[in-house]
Structure 1
Amino acid sequence: MVKPTWSFIFGALLGITALLSPPSCLATTPQVAAKADFALALKADGTVWSWGNDNYGQLGQGRQLFSSVPGRVAGFVGAKRVVSSPSHVLASSQTGELWAWGRNSSGQLGDGTRTDRGTPVKLENLAGASDFAVGNRHSLALMPDGTVRAWGANENGQLGDGTQVDRLRATTVLRLTQVVALAGSNAHSMALRSDGTVWAWGDNSKGQLGNRSTTSSVSPLQVPGLAGVTAIAANGYYGDHSVALLKDGSVWAWGDNSFGQIGDGTTNARFTPTKVTGLPEITAISAMGSHTLALDNTGAVWIWGAWWGTTMGSGYAQVPKKVVGAANAVKVVAGVTFNMLQLADGSVQSWGENYLGELGDGTTQANGLPHAMLGMTNIVDFSAGRENGVAVTSDGSLLVWGSD
């Protein structure tokens, strides 16, 4: 098996003192994603590769303990896009089908069961989904007509169907149309409509719905005070905060702020959207693991919120910090214990913890310096979970690595 050319750690998560050197072999990688301790990559040939933790089968390789180097996801070719929670994965094919694998305790795979899946299963009645997202134990799909379908855990109303009943197959989110993008969090969901408004539903115990209350909602509510939004992000594991990027390049956040993940210089929870301080014009955002990442219009990367096990010790940054050496980045993805970025040359780098091989560098040693994986080329998309990863290659196949 080839060694990866990109790696993860959650140590030195802020990356403030680390110099990133561009990798040489992770070329043509237009999309990345990171969650907790596993990761995924989509190559230009349409294959998907994964590495890291595989305790629920989220590597899609047929169940193992973990893999510190990328392996190809079994039985899946022609992949177009991948997203992951800390323990389950959704992937779309170039023919419009939606596939899922990993943990299924609450029906988050949408196959009508609660059985974990170590290899991809094709989902019914979700073909043609133009966007999809995952929360901790639920999933969302944007249909071609602008409506949203959801399935999985629903104890806080995060499926938006007016109930608190788990759904093992997709159900329609109430009163939500003209949607263009989705975001899933621990137990709440968000949607961006074509008019630039943001809607949220589910758990609101920390103000993550942004509606000036802590009352949860089983159906979508508009987030007040936001207009001209172009992108949304939500923390899908713990931290329970929400983020929005506006067309003027400003970033706004709300919800839990225990580790400074709102970026307003405090640790006070925010129940309405609050502007992140000290940022230049931003073009992309990502949130996970009680921290937030942002990409500015020069290709620099910014980070704020929690970090653990770094060369600086454990702690948090209440305002954005610039990641040293992260020049010419075109995409950023936050994981729970590691982060990833894609460079303009198509290569990918990451930094964070590596207990179960989530760095994909052939070791289980944490690394505080963002560094390239070995042998990974033609990557077009990738995502990260807790301790493993998945990649899609240009021929539509999948690679996986990390813990199983």
Structure 2
Amino acid sequence: MYRPAGRTLAPRTLATAAVAAVALAAVPAATPPAAANEGNPTVLAWGAGRTGQLGNGSTADSLSPASVTSLFRGDVDKMSAGGSSSSDSFVLALTDKTVKAWGHNSSGQLGNGGRASQAVPATVPRLNGIKDIAAGGSHALALDDRGQVYSWGNNAYGQLGNNRTGESRTVPDRVQLPPRVSQISAGCDFSLALLENGTVYAWGRGVHGQLGNGSRALSSVPVRVKGLDDIVEVDAGCHHALARTSGNTVKSWGYNLYGQLGDSSTTSSSVPVDVDWLEGVVEIDAGADHNYVRTNDSRVWGWGSNQYGQLLETDEDFANGTLRTNRTAPIEIRRLEGVQHMAAGARHGIAVTADKVFTWGDNSEGQLGNGTTTPRYSPVDILDQGSAIKDVTASLGGNTSYAY
């Protein structure tokens, strides 16, 4: 459970820590925190709202959690929030093997055949039997229970995997991949698919090495990520990727300006590298430029961009002269010990326990949900007992948060 922070940087000897379109129109202010708490069964959203990504019929920002229109937590199996910024954010929700979408749509990323943005959830046609979803920068993926992948939206870099570039699609179309796919993830401009045999395929832009195949060229068809044959989970950041192995260690590849590869360097890599000293990892979450992992002893570790306090280093560290600098290798985030799930946004974080939701980091558009736009370098409790939140997510490159 949440507890006061201790020292953030644990020594390497602690490495065993396992770990139909609706027109956009302004409406009255969003639901205040009290109404979004106990007894409210809806999915909750807060932060930037300019593209309708809050799903409440409004384009206004919300500084506190507000209900997503007609979308109930008990019906939602998974959510994925995309966008490369708050100006193009959109959201997918998996409900009873179908997909709902809302938000920005200029590239057809809502999958409804049009390009008009919409501010309330609507069903994506032509998708049935879906078991996984992924929202990228301006494209989207879905995986059905036969192990087949579908893509739609922006295709400037071949991120739809249809052997073409530059032609966006406004409806889902099948991606040709080896059988069978077990999980998908989408970055700002590339896509990932994890096969049941533990191998990983990538397609889209490769300039930062984010395809992991040893090249920096784009690929409009899926190519195999080098050296990965025992992977059980993948997650894409904006221009980098993480993979969890069957031995519960972590691999990374792609862009590394902020240390988001976690290998004690800032050198980007076009092939997977080992994230330093992590063992026993049971969950990975890649944000735009920072990452969190949870280990099997309920501890949380993070690395990458830290300019907005994303890694929750303690105030006493700063008093002792420690700078809020990016971290190129994992550090323990003791303030998050015991959380059940985490989400890394563009410049903020979210965590959920059995009965609480915490947020921290940048708050320029209200993405912390505490009624202000003031950044927080320690966790703020925004949803208390009775909220019954099972998971959280955040826009890939934007400033919107979701709890479901």
Q: What TM-score bracket applies, with the shorter chain setting the length? A: 0.7 to 0.9
CA 229–44 in structure 1, closer or farther in 2 if over 3 Å, else same: farther
CA distance in 1, matches of 2:177, 2:374: 48
Q: Is the aligned partner of 1:112 residue 2:113?
A: yes
Equivalent residues of 1:82, 1:89 under 8 A apart = yes
RMSD: 2.2
Structure-to-structure mapping, 1:4-403, within 5 angstroms: 16=8, 47-77=42-72, 78-86=75-83, 87-93=89-95, 95-164=96-165, 165-236=167-238, 240-310=239-309, 315-343=325-353, 345-375=354-384, 377-385=387-395, 386-392=398-404
Structure 1: how far apart are the matches of 2:290 and 2:133? 22
**How many Å separate the matches in 2 of 1:99 and 1:73?**
12
2:176 alignment partner, SS class? coil
Indicate conservation of the 8 Å contact 1:304/1:321, yes or no: yes
Q: Residue 176 of structure 1 contacts residue 220 of structure 1 at CA under 8 Å; is this kept in 2?
A: no
Distance 1:46 1:197, change over 3 A: farther
Q: Which has the higher helix share?
A: 2
Could you say which residue in structure 2 is the equivalent of 1:32?
none
TM-score normalized by structure 1?
A: 0.82
Question: Does the CA-based 8 Å contact 2:358-2:383 persist in structure 1?
Answer: no
The Cα of 1:391 is off from its aligned counterpart by 2.7
1:251-298 residue CA offsets vs partner (Å, 9 max, x unmatched): 000111111111111111111110011223211111112111111111
SS at 1:380 equivalent = coil
Query: 211-220 vs 169-178, which deviates more?
Result: 169-178
Unmatched 5+ residue regions in structure 1? 1-5, 7-14, 18-40, 393-404
1:179–1:342 CA distance, 2 compared to 1 (3 A): same
Aligned residue for 1:398?
none
Give 1:58 shift: 0.2
Aligned residues: 351
Which letter maps to 1:377? Answer: S
Matched letter for residue 336 of structure 1 = A
| Contact 1:42 1:391 (C-alpha < 8 Å) held by counterparts | no
1:325 match: secondary structure: helix
- Using the TM superposition, give the Cα deviation of residue 247 of structure 1 relative to its aligned residue in structure 2, in angstroms: 1.1
Say if 2:341 and 2:391, in contact at 8 Å, map to a contact too: no
In structure 2, runs of 5+ residues without a counterpart are 10-35, 84-88, 310-314
Aligned equivalents of 1:97 and 1:142: distance in 2?
11
The higher radius of gyration belongs to: 2
Assess if the C-alpha contact under 8 Å between 2:347 and 2:362 holds in 1: yes
**Structure 2 Cα separation of the partners of residues 47 and 189 of structure 1:** 30
Q: Counterparts of 2:38 and 2:347 in 1: how far apart (Å)?
A: 23
Give TM-score scaled by structure 2 length. Answer: 0.82
Counterpart amino acid of residue 58 in structure 2: R
Using the alignment, how far apart are the partners of 1:373 and 1:69 within structure 2?
Answer: 8
* Aligned mates of 2:142, 2:272 — CA distance in 1: 25
- Conserved in 2, the CA contact under 8 Å of 1:244 and 1:253? yes
Higher relative contact order at CA 8 Å, sep ≥6: structure 1 or structure 2? 1
How many angstroms does 1:383 deviate by? 1.7
Give the drift of 1:85.
1.1
Over 3 Å counting, the alpha-carbon distance change for 1:295 and 1:56 in structure 2 is same
Helix, strand or coil at the partner of 1:260: coil
Counting aligned pairs with the same residue, the percent is 32
Task: Quote the offset at 1:346 in angstroms.
Answer: 4.4
User: Once the two structures are superposed, what CA deviation does each residue of 1:223-250 show, in whole Å capped at 9, x if it has no partner?
Assistant: 12112101001113xxx11110001111
What one-letter code is carried by the residue in structure 1 that aligns with 2:210? Q
The letter of the residue matching 1:156 is Y
Going from structure 1 to structure 2, the CA distance change for 1:326 and 1:181 (only over 3 Å counts) comes to same
* Matching residue of 1:29: none
Alpha-carbon distance in structure 1 between the residues aligned to 2:227 and 2:258: 24
Counterpart CA distance in 2 for 1:172 and 1:306 is 35
Compared CA separation, residues 76 and 247, structure 1 to 2 (3 A): same
Equivalent AA in structure 2 for residue 85 of structure 1? G
Aligned equivalents of 2:41 and 2:382: distance in 1?
19
